[in-house]
A and B are shown apart, each in its own frame.
Chain A
Amino acid sequence: MQVSSRRIKGALVVKVEGELDHHTADAVRERLDSLLEDPTIKHIVFDLSQLKFMDSSGIGVFIGRYKVVSQRGGTVSVACVTSQINKVFEVSGLYRIIKKYGSIEEALAGIGGCDE
């Protein structure tokens, strides 16, 4: 499991690689929360192109981070979602609070992160 991030203006682009389940969720959550200690981060864009598996343990990880940034007036979006993970997102209703984009560029344009 690997989490890497880069900052593009007000947005944090986070690439999550590997498998997100109960076993790996704590480590991912801790890493994200330490990144979010920076109060200037408003938006998170997750690059899920290399996330190979996710079950319902991952849902809480996304909802929890959504709560953090929404309090700052920010958003969470996901890009490059593979079909298995898309199905978990759909079933859980995550798309009601998290927007899905085809690419990182589209996601950044969608939140206006490039222009801020």
Chain B
Amino acid sequence: MNVINEMRLEFPSKSQNESFARVTVAAFAAQLDPTLEEIADIKTAVSEAVTNAIIHGYENTVGIVTVIAKLYEGKIEIEVIDEGKGIEDIEKARQPLYTSKPELERSGMGFTVMETFMDEVEVISAPGQGTRVKLVKYLTSTGGELGRE
């Protein structure tokens, strides 16, 4: 499957960039002519992954979060990458309601939301090696402006 278009975003792990990241990815995804619901799903999942990178990856120290988005015909693939502390037990981290930071009133639903709102969620991580979350969503549209080229 050929990549129609791609973009890369890098920003410091500041919480005000959560909104920036999800809005930017949503604007980029709009090229595929997604439905409003699909756009909302993408925004929500990106917000979760970027928030995880900031809170858990860098634990509120400042590092660089990278977001790469690739558009295919009828599909968007998004990677959210940090070079933070990594995840020791990925299965445990993905369980609903699990949180390593209960004191922060975190719900532990981040990965569950990503899994519900996207079609595929892949997590690649190891302690001390950062985390890469790959999100894939298949879109019901026919490919938008770019797809018709």
Complexed CA–CA distance, A96 and B44 (Å): 22
The stretch of B75-83, B109-117, B135-143 in contact with A is B109-117
Contact between B43 and A53, CB atoms less than 8 A apart: yes
* Size of A's binding interface in residues, CB under 8 A: 21
Contact between A60 and B40, CB atoms less than 8 A apart: no
Contact between B106 and A60, CB atoms less than 8 A apart: yes
**Chain A residues with CB under 8 A of B110:** 55-56
Complexed CA–CA distance, A63 and B107 (Å): 9
**Chain A residues with CB under 8 A of B22:** 53
Residue from A56, A59, A63, A83 whose CB has the most chain B CB atoms within 10 Å? A56
Complexed CA–CA distance, A64 and B55 (Å): 19
Contact between B51 and A21, CB atoms less than 8 A apart: yes
**Chain B residues with CB under 8 A of A25:** 105
- B37 within 8 A of partner (CB): yes
- B2 within 8 A of partner (CB): no
- A22 within 8 A of partner (CB): yes
Contact between A84 and B44, CB atoms less than 8 A apart: yes
Contact between A92 and B109, CB atoms less than 8 A apart: yes
* Size of B's binding interface in residues, CB under 8 A: 25
**A60 and chain B: residue at smallest CB distance:** B105
**Chain B residues with CB under 8 A of A61:** 105
Contact among A23, A55, A56, A63 with B16 in the assembled complex (CB-CB below 8 Å): A23
**Chain B residues with CB under 8 A of A41:** none
- A88 within 8 A of partner (CB): yes
Per the 8 Å Cβ criterion, residues 77-133 of B in contact with A are 104-107, 109-110, 112-113, 116-117
Residue from A22, A29, A59 whose CB has the most chain B CB atoms within 10 Å? A22
Per the 8 Å Cβ criterion, residues 14-60 of B in contact with A are 15-16, 18-19, 22, 37, 40-41, 43-44, 47-48, 51, 54-55
Least CB distance from B17 to A in Å reads 8
Contact between A22 and B113, CB atoms less than 8 A apart: no
Can you add 7 more A-B contacts, CB < 8 Å, to A53-B43, A56-B48, A63-B105? A22-B18, A23-B19, A55-B48, A55-B51, A84-B37, A84-B40, A87-B40
- Residues of A participating in the B interface, judged by any CB pair closer than 8 Å: 19, 21-23, 25, 29, 53, 55-57, 59-61, 63-64, 83-84, 87-88, 91-92
Sorted nearest first, the 4 A-B pairs with minimum C-beta distance are A60-B105, A59-B107, A23-B15, A84-B40
